[in-house]
Amino acid sequence: MKELYDLIIIGSGSAGLAAGIYAGRARLKTLIIERDKPGGQIRITSEVENYPGILNISGEELGLNMRKQAEKFGVSFKHGVVESVDFYSDIKKVRTVDAEYEALAVIIATGTVPRRIGFKGENEFRGRGIGYCATCDGEFFTGMDVFVIGAGFAAAEESIFLTRYARKVTIIAREPEFTCSKMIAERVLAHPKIEVKFNTEIVEAGGDNVLRYAKFINNKTGETWTYEAKPGETFGIFVFAGYIPQTSEYAEHLRLDGNGYIVTDESMRTNIDGVYAAGDVRAKELRQLVTAVADGAIAATHAEKYIAMKKEKLGIKTEDAPETVHPAKVFFEEDLRGQLAPIFERFENKVKILAILDSQQEFSAEIKSFLEEFVSLTDKVELEVLEKGQDAEKEKLINATIFPTFAILRNDNSYTGIQFHGVPGGHEINSFILALYNVAGPGQSIGEDILSRINRIDRKVNLKIGVSLSCTFCPDVVAACQLMAAKNPNIEAEMIDVARFPDFKNQYSIMSVPAVVVNDKDIVFGKKTIEQILEIIEKIN
C-alpha cells in the first residue's frame, strides 16, 4: 500500500517552500517534489534586498535557508520530474519518472522557464555561445564580452552576476527603459562593467563553431550595427526575454489563461477541488519573491482546511507529525547517509567501482577520497583503485580514453558502459546513486515502449555528457543516458565535468551544459528526456 501524504507540493521554489513551511507548522504530512535547487528563480539573484526584514542575502542562501526551515517542521523532500497526474478522485496521484505518490491535496508551484526570442542563429548557436542561465554557464565566458538580451528583473540581475566573469556586459533592451524596479536599474546603470543600449534589438548571431559576430538594430532610428569578436576570440549572448509557465503536465486538467498560467481564485484554488497553485506559475499581476511566498502561505492554509474536511469525510485518522527533523547536510553528512541507507538495502546485487586515476591530475586524489568515503557507507559496493597504465587489460575493459575516470561494473566484473570523469558532487550525486541502483537492481521503472526502443539499438553508441556541477538540468540528462547504458550493452554513457576537462570542452566548443556528444562527433545541447535522446540516437543509427 502506498504511503498517503496529506499534501504534495510540486516545486521547491519560493512559493513551494513557503507552502511547505506553513504546512509543516500545521503538522500536515507533507512531501515536496523538487526538480532543481531550492529557491527557484530567486536562487540566481546575487543579492536580495527587497524582502521585508532581511537587509541583504544571496538568493541561493535564502533558498537553502527556506528548505532547512521546511525540513525543521517535518517536511519530506523527493527529487523527481512529474510525468503525469490524476486529480479527479479523493486521493490525488502524482507520477514522476521513478515513483507514484498519493495525497489528499496538491499545490502546484512549478514556476516558469526562460522564453526564446527567435532571432536568426539562436537555435544554431545555443550552447555554443548563446545561453539562458548565467549561473550554469557564466563561468565559460570569463574574460570575454557578453551581451544580455532583455530589460526586466532577470536581465538586470543576471547582468550584475555576469560581471564576475565577463570583461564587459552589454545589455540590449528593446524598451526605452528598464521594466524592473528603479533600485536594481540604478545599480545596473551605475556599474562600471555594464553598458546599456535601449531601443535596441538583436537581429542575428553567427560564426563558425562558436559565435563570431552579432547584428543589432535601433528600433527607433533603424540604424544597424555589428559586433565582431577579436581574431581568435568568441563572446556570449544570454537571453532573458520573459518566461513560460511550466504547466504542460496540467493543461488537460486545470484551467489556464491565454498565456498558459494557471487560473486561481484569491485562495489559490484551481478549478479542481483540493488542487491549488502558487507563485509564478499562476495568473497574477506581480511576480516577485514576496508575492510568491504569500501565495504559498495562502495555498497551504486553505489546503489545511480542505484536508481536515476530506479526512473527516473519508474517515482517515490524523497521524502525529514529527516535531522536527535535522536539516539536510552537505556531502555525506549524517542526514545524507540516512537517506542513502534504505536505497542500499534495496540493492539486489553487489556492484563494483573500478577507478583508474592519473597522479598527474591533482583532482585524482579528490575522486579517490570521494569513492573511499562512499563505499564505507555500504557493503553493497566494492572499490578497486588503479593508476593509469597499471593494468592495460582493465583499461581496455572499460574503454578508458579520458583520465582520471571511474566505471561501474556488475558483480561478475562485466562493464556496464557507465563512467564518471570527475567527482559527481552537488546535483550529480543523484545520477551517481541512480546509476548504481540501475545496475544493482531492481532499478528505475521504465515503460515497455521505451525499453523496447533501447534494446533495439544494435550498434555501438558512446554518449559523453558534458556537465557543470552547478547545473540543475544536467543530472536528469546524465541519469537518462546512463539508464540506457545499464539496459543495453551497446550503449556507453560518460559524465564529464567540463571544469575539470578543459580539453574536452574546447574540442567541442562547449559553452553551455548539459552537452551530449554522440559517438565523438554529433553534439546536442540542453535538457533532454530519455525519449528525446533516443530519437537522436535513432536518427544517427
182-190 and 153-162 are packed helices; what angle lies between their axes, rounded to 10 degrees?
A: 30
Q: Average pLDDT for residues 48-76, to the nearest whole number?
A: 83
Pairing mode, strands 461-467 and 405-409: unpaired
May I ask the CATH architecture of the domain 334-540? 3-Layer(aba) Sandwich (3.40)
Four-residue CA torsion sign, 341, 342, 348, 351: negative
**Cell numbers 540604424 correspond to what residue?**
223
**Can you tell me whether residue 200 is helix, strand or coil?**
strand
Residues 492-516 have pLDDT tens digits of: 999 999 989 999 998 998 988 999 9
Residue 45: pLDDT band by 50, 70, 90 thresholds? low
**Dihedral angle computed from the Cα positions of residues 514, 519, 520 and 524, in that order, rounded to the nearest 10 degrees:** -30
**Can you tell me whether residue 104 is helix, strand or coil?**
strand
pLDDT (0 to 100) of residue 303: 95
Residues 163-180 have pLDDT tens digits of: 999 999 999 999 999 998
- Residue 297's nearest CA partner among 314, 311, 276 is 276
Query: Do you find a cis peptide bond into 442, omega within 30 degrees of 0?
Result: yes
Please report which residue ranges of 178-279 form alpha helices under DSSP H.
Answer: 182-190
Residues 33-43 have pLDDT tens digits of: 988 766 566 66
Ranges of each domain in the chain: 4-113+243-314, 130-239, 334-540
Pairing mode, strands 491-497 and 415-421: parallel
**Cell numbers 486545470 correspond to what residue?**
254
Residues 236, 171: Cα–Cα separation, whole Å: 12
Q: What is the percentage of the chain residues whose pLDDT exceeds 70?
A: 93
Residues 6+ apart with CB under 8 A from 537: 457, 461, 491, 518
Q: Is the pLDDT of residue 350 over 90?
A: yes
Residues 358, 211: Cα–Cα separation, whole Å: 34
Pairing mode, strands 224-228 and 211-218: antiparallel
CATH superfamily of 4-113+243-314: FAD/NAD(P)-binding domain (3.50.50.60)
Residues 399, 196: Cα–Cα separation, whole Å: 50
Query: How far is C-alpha 303 from the chain's CA centre?
Result: 28
Residues 435-476 have pLDDT tens digits of: 999 999 999 988 999 999 999 999 999 999 999 877 778 899
2.60.120.10, 1.10.3470.10, 3.50.50.60, 3.30.428.10: which CATH number matches 130-239?
3.50.50.60
Residues 259-309 have pLDDT tens digits of: 899 999 999 999 999 999 999 999 988 778 889 999 999 999 999 999 999
Same fold, 4-113+243-314 and 334-540: no
**Cell numbers 556586459 correspond to what residue?**
169
pLDDT (0 to 100) of residue 468: 86
Residues 95-131 have pLDDT tens digits of: 987 789 999 999 999 988 778 899 999 989 988 899 8
Q: Average pLDDT for residues 522-538, to the nearest whole number?
A: 92
Cβ atoms of 290 and 277 within 8 Å: the answer is no
